[in-house]
Amino acid sequence: MEHNKRDRAATTQRILQALGQVLDEEGLVGVRINRIAEKAAVSKVLIYRYFGSIEGLLDYYLQQGGVLPQFSAAGLDQLQPVQPQDVALVWSSQSLQ
């Protein structure tokens, strides 16, 4: 009986590549566990197991040298937030980078 052995390093790399593709295609607002899981051909449960949360995945991505798209001041002006504080959250998170 042959067992399918998981290669955690290769799977992690596929997940990071999928995250990079989603960021390139859809920007930060398009980042969803389901979308990343689909692109990486893994279950979303596996992503949660490896990284704990979407925030954990993004943190690991940044630690590995990944770059998140930046919003310019002009780009922030074009956003149509549901609540005024939404722009502040986006701006402050981008400023800290």
Superfamily of domain 1-69: Tetracycline Repressor, domain 2 (1.10.357.10)
Residue 74 confidence (pLDDT) above 60: no
Could you tell me the residue ranges of all domains in the chain? 1-69
Of the candidates 53, 21, 65, the residue with the CA atom closest to the CA atom of residue 40: 21
Tens-digit pLDDT profile for residues 15-38: 999 999 998 888 888 889 999 999
pTM of the model: 0.66
Distance CA 58, CA 7 (A): 21
Per-residue model confidence (pLDDT) at position 27 = 84
